[in-house]
């Protein structure tokens, strides 16, 4: 491996850690009690720079709901020739998730690297067994570390005709081979680039090269989204039960109008069920029974979803559970049905004011018509017995739009003759929805730093004063004043151009050529108006620039 380390490209010399070689052997197995997937990972890390010490501790996470405890073997090879076997620390429960990890992280094993130093090698071997096969469905060639070479081997029983495919929209140089006499395929690639963290990819599974496969939970039949949905509903069936308390909740909703019943059912779950992640054991993927969740008054996304579905069922309103994924996370590939690409559960109603709607009861500040906003354009696996399907969340008519309006007045401060801009920015619909959760728990002056940061980021304003004039999930009004300098106004004898407030999302504008993978842009409606003194346009450019600059 040290010979390979000598071939690290010069452009990678500033990287703290590099993967010299990474292999992933995926073996699909059928069984009487259900199918399984075993995966062996072997990764060679090279410490290129001691700081930052990003490899001083390695964590290996596992999801007890659908996999066995991983077997971990690690060895450190030091520049002086010494070797140390690394023993994983005790497994301990963890919660939370990052954009590129699963939601249900039950346990974590930690490897501490003693005498961490430059030019050392670390070999990490991890053996995993997924006893629920649909929760393993892909192997990717990219990682947050630069990698000199990556190998993915996929093998399967002769009794099945495996549905697999290589997705390589980024155009990596990937070789493909097979082993004579075996049902397997080998993919190899070299000199891979790291995932650029400064430019998050909206749909990484559609860009980064990877091998995707679809393996049935039982038997040998090629799974479909319909059959996989029935498998999910069978797992969820113990939770989908009613009770006298649930029926009493439904009976307390006296309005007979369909839309009002849906709204009140949604608000009931929001008010009476506190969100609390429950990731232990099977509860990582299987919710507790709806009556138990209602009685205890807390639950995670899937448990809040089953309670809402049961209340709606009691009112005679059809509703389906939906598996979905948070933004910027690897999702499932439509052509290879699997469950690994989902980390959240919501509810789908086929008809609400003339069109389908998705409801997310975990959004405590949301309403029926906006709780799905953060999931727009995400893939949604709608679970309907015998008719499950992969769809996507679309904004309903006149919903999910960033609506912004501003009115500003340019004036000269009498005390110091400095030019300032004051005005009001109104945020409605999705623009208000996105900002409201930041403001809702802040009091009085606590809101000022958050508003200052928001105005700077989204409109390129640098406020002197700010004030929240009106605050709600559907509508927010912000009063502001800010100094104006010659960065924001261009003037000469022929006229002037004011550059603030800028278009919404000023600091997040980008050149699409710098991004990777497919992109979907949000709908934005913005109108801006200014009041300018009559004498302003008559000023000469030179003194104007001087006076404006004095206020910077």
Q: What is the DSSP string of 190-210?
A: EEEPPP-TTS--SSGGGTS-E
User: Could you give the CA distance from residue 251 to residue 253 in angstroms, rounded to a whole number?
Assistant: 5
Report pLDDT for 492.
62
Report pLDDT for 197.
56
Task: Calculate mean pLDDT across residues 508-534.
Answer: 74
Task: Calculate mean pLDDT across residues 135-141.
Answer: 92
Lowest mean per-residue pLDDT among 84-88, 228-232, 377-381, 530-534? 530-534
Tell me whether strands 344-352 and 355-359 are parallel, antiparallel or unpaired. antiparallel
Lowest mean per-residue pLDDT among 318-327, 499-508, 526-535? 499-508
Task: Calculate mean pLDDT across residues 128-136.
Answer: 93
Report pLDDT for 101.
34
Report pLDDT for 416.
66
How far lies 398's CA from each of 70, 254, 277, 429, in Å? 49, 29, 33, 9
pLDDT at 188 over 50: yes
**Smallest Cα–Cα separation from 501: which of 409, 419, 431, 411?**
409
Task: Calculate mean pLDDT across residues 448-464.
Answer: 93
pLDDT band for position 104 (cuts 50, 70, 90): very low
Lowest mean per-residue pLDDT among 152-161, 326-335, 431-440? 326-335
pLDDT band for position 516 (cuts 50, 70, 90): low
pLDDT at 394 over 60: yes
Report pLDDT for 388.
98
Question: Mind giving me the DSSP string for 130-170?
Answer: ESSGGG--EEES--SSEEEEEEEEEE--TTS--EEEEE-TT
pLDDT at 542 over 90: no
Indicate the CATH number of 225-392 among 3.10.620.30, 2.60.120.380, 3.40.50.300, 3.90.76.10.
Answer: 3.10.620.30
Three-state SS sequence of 445-492: HHHHHHHHHHHHHHHCCCEEEEEEEEECCCEEEEEEEEECCCCCEEEE
User: With pLDDT > 90 as the criterion, what percentage of the chain qualifies?
Assistant: 62
Task: Please tell me which of 98-112, 234-248, 409-423 the model is most confident about, judged by mean pLDDT.
Answer: 234-248
User: What would the pLDDT profile of 196-246 be if each residue is shown by its tens digit?
Assistant: 655 567 788 888 899 999 999 999 999 999 999 999 999 999 999 999 999
Report pLDDT for 131.
93
Lowest mean per-residue pLDDT among 71-75, 361-365, 466-470, 488-492? 488-492
**Smallest Cα–Cα separation from 199: which of 530, 534, 508?**
508
Report pLDDT for 124.
94
Mean pLDDT of the chain: 86
User: What would the pLDDT profile of 315-365 be if each residue is shown by its tens digit?
Assistant: 999 999 999 998 878 888 999 999 999 989 999 999 999 999 999 999 998
Residue 186 or residue 171, greater confidence:
186
pLDDT at 432 over 80: yes
Task: Calculate mean pLDDT across residues 179-203.
Answer: 80
User: What would the pLDDT profile of 9-44 be if each residue is shown by its tens digit?
Assistant: 887 878 888 899 999 999 999 999 999 999 999 999
pLDDT band for position 103 (cuts 50, 70, 90): very low
Report pLDDT for 168.
92
Lowest mean per-residue pLDDT among 63-67, 140-144, 180-184, 277-281? 277-281
Domain 2-214 has CATH 3.30.70.380: no
User: Could you give the CA distance from residue 95 to residue 388 in angstroms, rounded to a whole number?
Assistant: 30
**Cβ contact 173:42 at 8 Å:** no
Task: Calculate mean pLDDT across residues 113-123.
Answer: 91
Task: Calculate mean pLDDT across residues 357-380.
Answer: 94
Report pLDDT for 63.
79
pLDDT at 540 over 60: no
The token pair that represents 21 in the structure block: 């070689």
Report pLDDT for 418.
76
Residues forming beta bridges with residue 527, ordered by sequence position: 405
User: With pLDDT > 70 as the criterion, what percentage of the chain qualifies?
Assistant: 87
Three-state SS sequence of 321-347: EEEECCCCCCCCCCCCCCCCCCCEEEE
The domains of the chain are located at: 2-214, 225-392, 402-550
């Amino acid at each position: 491996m040290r010979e390979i380390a000598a071939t690290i490209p010069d452009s990678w010399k500033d990287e703290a850690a590099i993967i010299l070689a990474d292999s992933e052997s995926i073996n699909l197995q059928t069984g009487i009690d259900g199918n399984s997937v075993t995966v062996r990972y072997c990764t060679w890390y090279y410490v290129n720079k001691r700081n930052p010490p990003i490899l001083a501790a390695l964590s290996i996470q596992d999801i007890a709901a659908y996999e066995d405890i991983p077997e971990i073997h690690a060895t450190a090879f030091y520049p002086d020739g010494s070797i140390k076997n690394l023993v994983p620390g005790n497994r301990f429960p963890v919660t939370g998730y990052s954009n590129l990890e699963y939601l249900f992280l039950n346990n974590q094993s930690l490897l501490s690297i003693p005498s961490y130093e430059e030019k050392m090698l670390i070999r990490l071997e991890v053996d995993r067994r997924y006893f629920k096969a649909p929760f393993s469905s892909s192997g990717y060639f990219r990682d947050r570390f630069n990698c000199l070479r990556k190998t993915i081997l996929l093998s399967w029983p002769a009794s099945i005709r495996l549905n697999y495919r290589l997705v390589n929209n980024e155009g990596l140089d990937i070789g493909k081979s097979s082993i004579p006499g075996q049902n397997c395929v080998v993919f190899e690639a070299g000199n891979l680039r790291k995932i650029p963290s400064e430019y998050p990819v909206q749909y990484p599974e559609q860009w980064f090269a990877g091998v995707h496969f679809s393996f049935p939970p039982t038997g040998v039949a090629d799974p479909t989204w319909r059959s996989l949905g029935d498998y999910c509903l069978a797992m969820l069936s113990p939770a989908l039960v009613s009770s006298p308390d649930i029926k009493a909740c439904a009976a307390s909703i006296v309005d007979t109008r369909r839309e009002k019943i849906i709204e009140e059912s949604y608000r009931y779950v929001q008010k009476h069920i506190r969100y609390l992640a429950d990731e232990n054991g099977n509860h990582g993927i299987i919710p507790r029974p709806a009556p138990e969740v209602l009685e205890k008054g807390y639950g995670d996304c899937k448990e809040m979803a089953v309670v809402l579905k049961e209340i709606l069922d009691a009112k005679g309103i059809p509703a389906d559970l939906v598996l979905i994924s948070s933004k910027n996370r690897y999702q499932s590939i439509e052509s290879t049905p699997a469950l690994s690409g989902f980390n959240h559960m919501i509810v789908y109603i086929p008809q609400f004011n003339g069109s389908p709607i998705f409801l997310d009861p975990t959004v405590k500040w949301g309403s029926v018509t906006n709780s799905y906003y953060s999931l727009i354009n995400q893939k949604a696996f709608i679970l309907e017995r015998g008719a499950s399907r992969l769809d996507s969340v679309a904004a309903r008519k006149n919903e999910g739009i960033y609506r912004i309006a501003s009115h500003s007045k340019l004036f000269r401060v009498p005390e110091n003759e400095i030019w300032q801009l004051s005005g009001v920015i109104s945020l409605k619909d999705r623009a208000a929805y996105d900002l409201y959760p930041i403001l809702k728990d802040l009091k009085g002056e606590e809101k000022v730093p958050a508003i200052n940061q928001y105005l700077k980021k989204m409109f390129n304003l640098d406020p002197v004063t700010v004030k929240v004039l009106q605050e709600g999930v559907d509508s927010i009004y912000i009063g502001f004043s800010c100094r104006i300098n010659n960065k924001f106004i261009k003037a000469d004898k022929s006229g002037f151009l004011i550059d603030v407030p800028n278009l919404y999302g000023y600091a997040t504008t980008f050149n699409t050529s710098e991004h990777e993978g497919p992109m979907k842009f949000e709908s934005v409606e913005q109108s801006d108006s200014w009041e300018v003194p009559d004498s302003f346009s008559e000023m000469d450019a030179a003194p104007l620039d001087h006076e404006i600059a004095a206020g910077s």
